[in-house]
Structure 1
């Protein structure tokens, strides 16, 4: 019987040492295989303990001979493998739960508790140390350390609270009450790391972060609303103003159109109609670009519809009839905001304006069909036009944009179908008049070549149009050749 006991204890030590060697050889890159090996060795050691009738949960005073030493080492190895198997289960559960990164603090806490429990068990059941007395003594030491490490412990427990509360996860964009905002890139026991929009890394202690008001921009998604106040001179009905600003928002390509943007009347007085524009963007990085585009389109639509921006409160002066006169809609005023004609002199604009013809189209009507060769350049005055390719919307055009440049300039068919999204008005410039304009103002070719090259990039499904200098020069030469200009 004693011989079987000795063999079981030797086998138990052998299994424990072999399990440690296999555990280290497998490494951290194979957690599943590591867990299987840990469970296998732990079960084998448990079966051996049962066969040898050794109770690891009871302290037996060991003899100071070889057998007693082997029993002590066997119990220590068994408790060590039990701790590793438990930790393996904890880590596998966190990975399968799909939250390995944000649950790092909880994982570390559970691992520490498992190791502490295993250490106390070894001291109590293997060496017979009175745990009650030890815990009472360690309590005094813990109080002293707690006072010395008060700030650090505050950060640690704040980190645990933030992890359990889950106000954010790694990768979320957050905004704090002190003005700090950015994306969470890392979090540990003591600090949270935030990458701001200016590409700076802000390190915040967890205790400071836990005390601040926090807005998670990424929840439920990163679409969030922007408010933009606008003041318009009250020389027309507020409903007309709201409709025009709605058109400006709907013609914007950089904002979210579902849910639709809105323009809400805030107030009215003798100097201004106050409106608040509400629109959404797809993420924090698009806020600046979207706001720039919206402001530019507000100017375009107001300029083409005879609306004037009011001066800030307290700085208004009486405009009188001059304001109404300047609000008169004409093709010359449209040239002020049309990039194509920005470089024309007043006499040149007057000549083109005199030869242009005003037209209009109802919402849903087709202005230019795909593959059509048009004989007039269409300059949008009011409303919104969409460019479509096989029924899919490519982009939206606003007042000041134009259609038909490819056909008029180079004789090539149009790449896209142009449809009126809303009721539109426009000015048509005949091809012969436009030829005279280009011959007298060659600089217009630069803008045309840029826009036509971008249209080619859009047709090729390029995310960012990239036009080489040589390609642009070739296009300019083609256009000049078409008009006989050298």
Structure 2
């Protein structure tokens, strides 16, 4: 009688019984380590551990240990399932090693998804051909011949359509733009939201423009987002031709310099375009900021031109009427402890004006030359942190004032921005000095306000630091 140890199946069974658990434990640890590192190879290793090793062990037991014929149906079924899993492993491994970890800007990152889909289809077709040919003995040569002839016929029939698709695919491979870039094409201007193998989708702000890639490949267009951080917008404004050009240009540059969309470290510029027109160039971070920057600039210029007594669009300002000025003095009279006689004396030295929403009324560190009293609207006081951030301090309402350090000739500790449209009454420093000299209580109140607001700024900065 032959000993069990001498049997040919014994060593195969023993190898599977010992090797399979050890291999499973090792692959489990490897997969856990790859998962902790966030590696894309964790999935292929999981496929090997969960499917390929068990199926390979089962196939070895069937063929070597139990000596089942390789032509038997159970062996073929197991071999087919193993072949499918190996095919999935090849696809997953190629994707993880070549494309998922590809650095930005490399050719692997720029390959369009349609090319990857075609490559996956070819790998699947070749893998299935090998499986059916070697395991089931199928004749796949005739199938490939028929597919080749069919492809030639279809290519000749659809050569125009295929040519358009190929030109689109070449455009995708070159990638002159990416998702999120702003482009200016002959038919649309907007932000790229989707790019596929057939067309490019552009959000124009008023709808979605779908342009075939073959059209873009055969036309010239501008990528407004490249190089990044170099985009500027130009705004044309028109003033009365009697307005001094230098004063107008200084006004436009000052207004543009306060825009929240202005690119960090960049400076706007303004030049005379002729016939009373002025061209202002405003650097912004990206084309996405262009619309908001243009709208805010034009709105702020409307208010700034009237404060500077310049005639935007040839129209003069008729807001500061004597009646409105007297009404504004009555609003702030309780704050300044003004009698009717005081109001009449202050009337020739007061000036009423307006600011637009989010426009700056005073800048931190600036020494004001006048005090501004809120007649209508609200003003937000903000403090600046060391890293350039803004921290809200308080809201100044109707009847209150800003710029009180004009009397002490000290820089203001906070910046002031209009919450909505704000009407203010401004009194120059020398006239305020004459007023408070005869009102000691008013002078004490203004001094106390200066100290309170400095303390509020310190508390706001301390809270932001915490």
- TM-score of the superposition, structure 1-length normalised? 0.53
Q: Which residue does 1:197 correspond to in 2?
A: 205
SS for the counterpart of 1:260 is coil
Change (3 A) 1:293 1:260: same
Alignment of 1:415-426 (within 5 A): 416-417=413-414
Q: Which deviations, in whole Å up to 9, do the C-alpha atoms of 1:279-318 show, x marking residues without a partner?
A: 133444433332122123334444444544467xxxxxxx
Q: Which residue does 2:284 correspond to in 1?
A: 281
CA distance in 1, matches of 2:253, 2:238: 14
- 1:116 and 2:125 are equivalent in the alignment: yes
Change (3 A) 1:97 1:344: farther
CA distance in 2, matches of 1:283, 1:46: 56
CA distance in 2, matches of 1:3, 1:97: 48
Q: Which residue does 2:337 correspond to in 1?
A: none
- 1:178 and 2:183 are equivalent in the alignment: no
- 1:264 and 2:271 are equivalent in the alignment: yes
Deviating 4+ runs (over 6 angstroms): 43-54, 98-102, 349-352, 429-434
Shift of 1:354: 0.8
SS for the counterpart of 2:71 is helix
CA distance in 1, matches of 2:164, 2:9: 54
Q: Which residue does 2:401 correspond to in 1?
A: 405
Change (3 A) 1:82 1:387: closer
Shift of 1:42: 4.8
Alignment of 1:79-94 (within 5 A): 79-93=83-97, 94=99
CA distance in 1, matches of 2:365, 2:412: 18
Change (3 A) 1:225 1:106: same
SS for the counterpart of 1:278 is strand
Shift of 1:34: 3.8
SS for the counterpart of 2:271 is strand
Is the CA contact 1:377–1:431 (under 8 Å) kept in the aligned structure 2?
A: no
Q: Which residue does 2:298 correspond to in 1?
A: 295
Q: Which deviations, in whole Å up to 9, do the C-alpha atoms of 1:312-331 show, x marking residues without a partner?
A: xxxxxxxxxxx9xx7xxxxx
Is the CA contact 1:252–1:293 (under 8 Å) kept in the aligned structure 2?
A: yes
Change (3 A) 1:263 1:257: farther
Shift of 1:46: 7.9
Alignment of 1:96-107 (within 5 A): 96-97=101-102, 103-107=112-116
Alignment of 1:136-285 (within 5 A): 136-146=145-155, 153=162, 156-158=165-167, 160-184=169-193, 186-198=194-206, 200-221=207-228, 224-235=231-242, 238-266=245-273, 268=274, 272-285=275-288
Is the CA contact 1:388–1:418 (under 8 Å) kept in the aligned structure 2?
A: yes
Shift of 1:75: 5.7
Change (3 A) 1:197 1:160: same
Shift of 1:390: 5.5
Change (3 A) 1:244 1:415: closer
Shift of 1:228: 1.2
Q: Which deviations, in whole Å up to 9, do the C-alpha atoms of 1:358-391 show, x marking residues without a partner?
A: 9xxxx997336xxxxx994369xxxxxx964456
Change (3 A) 1:416 1:343: farther
- 1:129 and 2:139 are equivalent in the alignment: yes
CA distance in 1, matches of 2:42, 2:54: 17
Is the CA contact 1:172–1:218 (under 8 Å) kept in the aligned structure 2?
A: yes
CA distance in 2, matches of 1:406, 1:190: 60
Is the CA contact 1:176–1:215 (under 8 Å) kept in the aligned structure 2?
A: yes
Instruction: Tell me the number of residue pairs that the alignment of Structure 1 and Structure 2 aligns.
Output: 352
Q: Which deviations, in whole Å up to 9, do the C-alpha atoms of 1:417-455 show, x marking residues without a partner?
A: 359xxxxxx743978999xxxxxxxxxxxxxxxxxxxx9
CA distance in 1, matches of 2:246, 2:347: 30
CA distance in 2, matches of 1:344, 1:254: 38
- TM-score of the superposition, structure 2-length normalised? 0.55
Is the CA contact 1:357–1:427 (under 8 Å) kept in the aligned structure 2?
A: yes
Gaps of at least 5 residues in structure 1 are 20-29, 55-64, 312-322, 327-332, 369-373, 380-385, 396-401, 409-413, 420-425, 435-454, 461-486
Is the CA contact 2:180–2:191 (under 8 Å) kept in the aligned structure 1?
A: no
CA distance in 1, matches of 2:292, 2:195: 30
Shift of 1:217: 4.0
Shift of 1:119: 2.8
Is the CA contact 1:226–1:278 (under 8 Å) kept in the aligned structure 2?
A: yes
Q: What is the RMSD of the two structures over their aligned residues, measured on CA atoms?
A: 5.7
Q: Which residue does 1:27 correspond to in 2?
A: none
CA distance in 1, matches of 2:323, 2:86: 85
